[in-house]
Amino acid sequence: MTIGSSYNYPSYIAKEAARTKRSAKNKWAARFPNPPDLCFDYRALVEQENGIARATDPQHKICIIGAGVTGLTAARELYRCGFTHITLIEQSRRIGGRHLTVPGSRNSATSHTPFEMGAMRMPFFNRADEPPTEGRSLMAYYANQFELAFSDFANPGSQWVSSTGIYLREGSMGGGSAPQMLIWKNEDGETPPPGDELQKVYSKWKAFADRMTRHVAELYASQEWEAIWASIVEKYESVSFRDLVSMPALEAWDGHSPGDFGGMGMSAQESAIFYAIGIGDGSWGAFYDVCCLYPLRTAIFGFSSQLQLIHGRVDSNGDPLDSPYLNSEAVFDSMGQSFDKPRYIGLAALDECLLFVKTDETGKSIYEHSLERSNGLLTDSSVTKLEKLTNQKIRVYYNWKHSQPEQIQEQFDDYDSVIMTLPSWLIETRIKLENFTREMLPFETINAYKTAHWETSCKVFAPLKKSFLSKNKNIPQAIVTDSFIHDVYTYRYNDNYSYDCILLSYTWEDDATKLASFSDKELVSKCAEELDRILMNSTNIQEKISPYIGIDQAVVQRWITDKNALGCAKLYRPGTYYDAVGLMKYNRDLAHVSGLYLSGESFSVDAGWTEPCFRGAVDAVIHICNKTAATFNGGFSLSDYPHYQLKT
């Protein structure tokens, strides 16, 4: 996400607040920065020796639909608990879902340089005075556990780029007589963007965000926190981001109205600039008509602080560490179907480690355990129906060899629990749910995931010659425009790789939809030509970037037409926040009756991030452990687990 992605204030405020704040009485309480609900330290539970719990019913049969990061995490943590009948069903012939790392081009299996066509910048929720792996997050835990290498992500407007170019209104933003690209150099991380107009917009955003963050940091995890957060939700859940931007600013926060932090107080012209540029880190316009709680959660609670680029499970040269199945010619699922073998490069290494790296508790990986059973891991298998049986089990129907129409075989098996991790539009359009009563699956729940808003996104990646970042002093490293290409990122993984990366165009929502009619080849050419036009039109640049770009090796990803996704991230409109939270409550309230567990980003309120996928996976594991009377480790019990709050 581009929302506030160069905004590190939460991690700095957290450092200050930690000096004076009393420690929480509950050892399971989260600390700031972290998501506002639930205020729970998932890492503390998962990182215990022997994991979350010890299964007392290891034969409990569990089916996990989807082998993205949510499904893989759930499988690994259930296996660590001692559950031995776990089935992972994946529709595609690769793992990872919307973690999609492709080598330098899809035509090159040998290139090390990864293109992150899905999620690409990871928050660890660490404070400013500690390394990322000490953040109190599941991302920090798994990155440390799997020895993932990472570096600060080269966000536009951040100190991690040499400069950011800003080109708005055909170069007229600076007020000069000739078109120019504004150049923002932010070496200290505190330098505001150039020009009076941008600085006014930046200062209004920062005044609002700083005030809210300071109060949130002081109250987070306190006894008052749930009531404070409920007040914030009540104030803003029906307000769009667009309206928040123009809403009058408060002079001071009033403790008698603890949920009211006012708005940003921008004029129509300032709002138009903010729409296109954010605070210099990319367009926020794609999110203007969503519920403002989404950008508030993102910017205030640490999702956008100190973001990291994951290099993979690699050494200092960028070469993969010795890892399971790294040198295998192929890997196969439980039925002998081949699927993409691990490379341990880029963000995909996280998913590969979840599947292939051994667990301390068993001495085996979830993959090795899966191969011991004929249905432990099924790839190229599309789930078509879930049927609730009279014996309370769930029959899962699936098409084996899904991608091979002439060989498709419909099969089924019965399970005690089923964890659903799919994007909700896939559930609505591909899977029939039969014999689930309204007490098991209320219409409100079905309607909430059927009517959820999934946004589209389009990425255009290409190899970038090393000379661009090493020798170029003229063209900015990152560029933000109000043109159809919108955001351009360039960055380097390693000096040893043949090429660097350029994200030639990064668009969301309508900005991505308008590019849908062009073929990939046409789109790549149009983006390169448009970027050259902008640079040549800027009188202070007048140099083309295309000579540095491997145009013919470019890769395009359009998430809305990806048959395994039907969208890149789930958002929610004003007035629908409680519907989304209702989905998050389902596991606690009704899963023990239905046997169906809803898990992952489809059933969260933090779109486009990996942390809610982890949290949703662990949430499902907690409730399956509780249902089967497993013995929780560390003295944890469900009474220590906070409740999601709905409007009363």
Section 341-355 average pLDDT: 97
Q: Minimal CA–CA distance to 422: which of 615, 616, 589?
A: 616
pLDDT band at 5 (very low <50, low <70, confident <90, very high): very low
Q: E strands, 389-498, where? A: 394-400, 409-415, 417-420, 432-434, 453-455, 457-464, 478-481, 487-491
Please state, in angstroms and rounded to a whole number, the distance separating the CA atoms of residues 192 and 199.
6
Section 122-145 average pLDDT: 96
User: Is 484 inside any structural domain?
Assistant: no
User: Is 605 inside any structural domain?
Assistant: yes
Write out pLDDT tens, residues 91-117.
999 999 999 999 875 555 556 799 999
Find which of 191-195, 293-297, 532-536 is predicted with most confidence, using mean pLDDT. Answer: 532-536
CATH number at residue 616: 3.50.50.60
**Cβ contact 538:181 at 8 Å:** yes
Write out pLDDT tens, residues 215-235.
999 999 999 999 999 999 999
Element (H, E) at 308: strand 308-312
Contacts of 449 (CB under 8 A, 6+ apart): 424, 427, 428, 583, 598, 602, 603
Contacts of 226 (CB under 8 A, 6+ apart): 39, 642, 645
Section 4-21 average pLDDT: 58
What does the pLDDT read at residue 337?
A: 96
Rounded to the nearest integer, the mean pLDDT of the chain is: 92
What does the pLDDT read at residue 610?
A: 96
User: Is 157 inside any structural domain?
Assistant: no
Instruction: Kindly report the number of other CB atoms within 10 A of residue 62's CB atom.
Output: 25
**Cβ contact 149:131 at 8 Å:** no
Residue type present at position 192: P
Write out pLDDT tens, residues 168-192.
999 998 778 899 999 999 998 888 8
What does the pLDDT read at residue 110?
A: 52
Please state, in angstroms and rounded to a whole number, the distance separating the CA atoms of residues 549 and 186.
26
What does the pLDDT read at residue 103?
A: 86
Least confident span in 87-91, 94-98, 251-255, 336-340 = 251-255
Write out pLDDT tens, residues 425-447.
999 999 999 999 999 999 999 99
What does the pLDDT read at residue 234?
A: 95
User: Is 461 inside any structural domain?
Assistant: no
Write out pLDDT tens, residues 571-624.
999 999 999 999 999 999 999 999 999 999 999 999 889 999 999 999 999 999
User: Is 527 inside any structural domain?
Assistant: no
Q: Is the pLDDT of residue 352 over 60?
A: yes
Where would I find the H helices in 82-187?
138-145
Q: Minimal CA–CA distance to 18: which of 127, 123, 134?
A: 127
pLDDT band at 12 (very low <50, low <70, confident <90, very high): low
Q: Is the pLDDT of residue 2 over 50?
A: no
**Cβ contact 90:378 at 8 Å:** yes
Domain count, the chain: 1
Q: Is the pLDDT of residue 1 over 80?
A: no
CA atoms within 13 A on the CB side of 358: 7
User: Is 302 inside any structural domain?
Assistant: no
Summary count for the chain: helices (H), strands (E) = 19, 26
Section 53-64 average pLDDT: 97
Residue of higher predicted confidence among 13 and 254: 254
Percent residues over pLDDT 70 in the chain: 94
Section 544-566 average pLDDT: 95
C-alpha 97 chain-centroid distance: 11
What does the pLDDT read at residue 313?
A: 97
Task: State pTM to two decimals.
Answer: 0.95
Section 564-575 average pLDDT: 93
pLDDT band at 465 (very low <50, low <70, confident <90, very high): very high
Section 263-275 average pLDDT: 92
Maximum Cα interatomic distance, the chain, rounded to a whole number of Å:
78
Domain span at residue 632?
20-97+329-447+575-640
User: Is 68 inside any structural domain?
Assistant: yes
What does the pLDDT read at residue 106?
A: 54
Q: In the structure encoding, which two tokens stand for residue 275, read together?
A: 């729409």
Instruction: Kindly report the number of other CB atoms within 10 A of residue 59's CB atom.
Output: 10
Q: Is the pLDDT of residue 17 over 70?
A: no
What does the pLDDT read at residue 18?
A: 58
pLDDT band at 387 (very low <50, low <70, confident <90, very high): very high
Percent residues over pLDDT 90 in the chain: 83
User: Is 612 inside any structural domain?
Assistant: yes
What does the pLDDT read at residue 312?
A: 97
Least confident span in 5-19, 438-452, 499-513 = 5-19
Q: Is the pLDDT of residue 281 over 60?
A: no
What does the pLDDT read at residue 105?
A: 56
